[in-house]
Amino acid sequence: MNKDDSRIANSILNDIGGKENIRALGHCSTRLRVTLHDKNKINTQAIENIDGVKGQFFSGEQYQIILGVGLVDRIYDLVLQASGGSSVDTDIKGDIYAGMSLPRKFSRILGDIFIPVIPALVATGLFGGFINCINAFGIKMDPTAMTIATILMKTAFVFLPVLIAWSGMKQFGGTPVLGIILGLMLVNPALPNPDNVAKGLEKAIHFNVLGLQLNITSFAGSVLPALIVVIIGANVEKWLKRKVPDALQLIVTPFLTILVAGLLGLLFVGPICKIIEQAILTAAKFVITLPFGLGGLIIGGTQQAIVVTGMHHIFLALESSLLATTGFNPFNAMITGGIIAQATAALVTGLKMKDRKKRGFYTSASLSAFLGITEPAIFGVNLRFGKPFIFALCGGAVSGWIAGILHAASTGMGVAAIPGLVTYLYSGTAIMNYLIIHLSAMLVSGGLVYFFFDPNKEEAKIEAQENQAASVNAINTVARPTSPAGATVAIASPVEGTLVSTDQIPDPTFAKQILGKTIAIEPTVNEVKAPVSGEVVMLADTKHAIGIKADCGVEILIHLGIDTVALKGKYFTAKVKPGDRINVHDTLIEMDIDQIRKAGYDPMVVMIITDNQTDQAINVTKSPSGAMVNNSTLVLQS
């Protein structure tokens, strides 16, 4: 056993709080990855001072220690052995969720699923808000223009189950395209529109299963059914991949996945969700009549939580009934403050962000919420962090209670927040009630977020797959020898594809160039070829990383994909082994970039100069980000 390795491993183990503090342990080609029971036991300064450690940082729940190629494998083995060997959990990714409370896990999963679709929801949400304003003020539009505007406004929300199913299938380890198919099944045009069913304009499809009478409608705009269906689909697909022979995988696995998940979704998951909707509607009818404003407090504090499930459209039936019987809609007055509360919470969260890019993203998500479309604010900001969502619900509860006390009511339905003002213009008292409701919502939710929530601290806890910035401290502890003057360094691209700016690499260690001079390429072919002549000195067991000692005096790490260590070698075929002599352009590894993407990973190829034993400074060529490169393109040279 190497005494230096043993010393490093023991020091790391001691400075992370001992083996009892380890919840799960893993590693990639350069970093030791640990999740811990108590983060406060980490002595970060001591870890940074350990010889051999090149940096450390937190990425969400995961603590990562940068060690470099080769050393990380040895240290991992030693730490694993010292921590209990086979008794230690090595499923580092699964453990991240396991350590969360149920509410935190639910909000985190929803955040992970919704982050990729938020830009679409923000854009169409703004369209929806503008159309709501136009309709609310009675401005007439040309029918053709209105049709086009409606398409722009509603497409993302009507097909929301498709977006959720695509992103959710990817998140849960299934094939994203199967998620798209399952989502499309839930919004198939052959299914009756639920809003029309609620208004009595269409009838649900009646289906009898084992004596149970089931009512089936479209799930357009819903969240919960799509989420449950993709959980089923992803787990069915993963089970089939373990059981079905490789020769039959292409036909049997997708067929049975769609059959099982699709039928369960349409015949059981969907109807069960409808039963839950009816229970919520019945409860709302009772609650709205409670005295002393209690009905408003309950409805205002829960309605936006129901939006998360996508079941909020059921309240159209309640609002229609109220308007038909009394001419007024107190339900609207009880929920409109909750909408403004979500908008305000997202806005204040964004304004408190120090990072300009994130500040712009979060504040823009609030704009559509002020116009009545809260999904971008909820899923993109508030629910992502948790506390802003809870604080906004508090604002909704207070404003709903005030609406109940004031006996406030709207004369319309389907429009709230700023556009809803026109439905309160029937009297001066109604206008005053409208202003008081919204002002109270903004003061409560905005005040709570401003004084009791720091988004900058929370942002630091977001996991690497969400591509958020992480704080990295690099330490240069190795004196590098130099070779005689005059050494020439010329390094070609290891793969054909498109150059990517290093600050766009979705991994903080590579993006910050902690391990050395770095370039990144989005590949368009499967073959990874030698960028130089030299010797293979390292090949990861998972085949996703290879180390080369070049004849020109540099050591190179080629890392294939982001977080692809989790694939455990699947979709990678090595053509060389450690100790092999290689010439420039020899094929090193073949990777299936299409399958890697389908598995939910980025196949980006990252090449790093981990050691330069020449006296020449190595620089990236002047090829701009976005430039096409091939195996003859020099990307690093002296």
Annotated active-site positions, please? Answer: 28
DSSP H or E run through 391: helix 387-406
DSSP H or E run through 345: helix 330-352
Contact 458, 557 (CB under 8 A): no
Structure tokens at 82: 């010292």
- CB count, 10 Å around CB of 102? 7
Contact 617, 638 (CB under 8 A): yes
Give every CB contact of residue 156 below 8 A, 6+ residues apart in sequence. Answer: 117, 120, 121, 123, 124, 163
**Helix, strand, or coil here: 456?**
helix
Report CA dihedral (381, 384, 390, 396) to the nearest 10 degrees: 40
- C-alpha span between 308 and 311 (Å, rounded): 8
**Helix, strand, or coil here: 559?**
strand
- C-alpha span between 360 and 481 (Å, rounded): 46
Q: Which residues pair with 35 in a beta bridge?
A: 24, 62
Residue type, 201: L
- CB count, 10 Å around CB of 31? 27
Sheet bearing 490-492, strands edge to edge = 490-492, 634-637, 619-620
Tell the residue number behind the tokens 């990678």, with chain if given. Answer: 572
Give every CB contact of residue 253 below 8 A, 6+ residues apart in sequence. Answer: 237, 240, 241, 244
Sheet bearing 22-27, strands edge to edge = 22-27, 31-36, 62-66, 55-59, 473-474
Residue type, 70: G
DSSP H or E run through 153: helix 143-158
Residue type, 287: V
Nearest to 218 by CA among 295, 176, 160, 259: 160
Structure tokens at 163: 């977006």
Tell the residue number behind the tokens 């339905």, with chain if given. Answer: 413
